[in-house]
Chains A and B, each alone.
Chain A
Amino acid sequence: MSLKSVAREPLLHFLAIGAALFLYFHFSGGGSGPTSSRIVLTAGQINQLVAGFAKTWQRPPTDVELKGLVDDWVREEIAVREAMAMGLDRDDTVIRRRLRQKLEFVVEDVVAAAAPTEQELQAWLAGHAAAFRIEPQVAFRQVYVSRDRRGAAAETDAKALLARLRAAGAAARIDDLGDPIMLPQEVDLSSRGEIARTFGDDFAARVETLVPGIWAGPIQSGFGLHLVLVRERVEGSLPPLSRVRPIVEREFASDRRTRQLAAMYERLLAKYMVVIEKKTEGDAPAGGAGKGGS
């Protein structure tokens, strides 16, 4: 890393500008910082309050309402300063958690600016193929035989129907065969999950195993018996990046955020010497309400 390339790092510029601004405001007299007794509500901030109100009510606030907003803001500002002056911000678990959260946001924000490269996305897709794989799909025809209508005769009826269908072949007319039911007789290429949604998972699993072009059955479903002919089967495949780009980008970004934070802590940990004392008996158990929702 040469000095020249370091000097070009945007983060460095950002930090330098921030430091300059901090120094400027620190030394420009009085000001209205947290330790002064002067509270300034700038025109810009007032506009923000008005904008927030307008966003909800679709109209600007009346004078009375605006006064309410301003009073509320002033009260909050006073509360924050007083609380900090009282040291309420120190040794406070929730404040510490919040600061941690803000630091993590800083890291995330800086990194989020950089878009992933083609290679990174391709590598991700290849590395997580199982999650993106397009399921195998099956297109089939089915004829329904109702146990409810036919009772004990249903099985024999179904087998007889199967023989007729086999004789008639794959293109047999099935409009008036079997029993009516609000299930499709012709089903286009669908994944196992889609078939299961209409026919149940057991049926979908059986259909997946059938040899295309031959009438088979009777196959059981929650509705009764079916005679099924698979018309077409398409094997599963991994889609090209162009087809699933938004999802890959989303998952990649999510994972990168997680790894970034881990890397950041690794790095920062190296700066510190950590000493952990031995736990003594009788320590109060840690109260826990679980990790914070994000």
Chain B
Amino acid sequence: MNDILQFIINALSLGSLYALFALGLIMVFGILRLVNFAYGELIMVAGYTWYILQGTFIPLVGLLISAVVAAGLASVLTERVAFRPVRSNSMNAMLITSFAVSTLLQNMALVFVSPRPRAVDVPTWFHTSLNVGGLRIGVSNLIIIAISGLTLLALMLLMQRTRLGLTLRAASDDFRMLQLLGVRANQVIATAFLISGLLAGVAGFLWIGRIGSVSPTVGMAPLLVALIAIVVGGMSSLSGAIAGGFFMGALTIALQLILPQDLLAFRDAVIFAVVILVLVVRPQGLIKGRFATERIG
């Protein structure tokens, strides 16, 4: 019984983090049909912001906020500088641009900070655990679940209850029509990038707190996770991305328990084979939703 509860908590914690990663990626994809390969580097930006500002007077919450804001700004900046000029060209041009932006940001970290991982000061209580009726619950898991949960809730409120959310949802339905109603494309797209960056910031801060250090390639793993999650989720809706994120979290924890060590090394290969299979056999996703290959706008 305790094992099951333990599994649920671990899966929820990792899953909620993965759901945030996936949401950040689908936010931009939903509107531009662009898989932003530079998304992982926004997580890296959050990590380096933490690393650079730590040890100053700023408290941990302040570091979190700074990291989130930095990731959001970086996202908007990449849109303005790199993606906007390419937007009217082909889909491939956009994808390759995002790949170039990813390389650019990674190498800037390499040059201006260091190629080696840098430790962030994670408070010691983060890695302790509470004993609740014989069940050991990691503080890190609780914090990740709480912050991710709040962020998910805030995002849902934003999307469902505000004018901004309304335009973003409409844009992913039919961007051309939204423009015919007088909504300016640049604003919508910039907002989508901002939200994507903020999500990457929150999730990235938690992710880097979990692993304890930041390196130029720290964003690679979250990018891959987010990519799988949105494919599994059908690449069309926010709820699909969330479901895909939790699915990936549960799957990762489950495979860690089930697979023997030497096969565990091939886990990612197996998961990516599933991605290809899903794309080919069930493009609408494992969970639900529809898949649109056309890009509008």
A and B are interacting partners:
no
Q: Which residues of A contact B (CB under 8 A)?
A: none
B residues apposed to A, CB below 8 Å: none
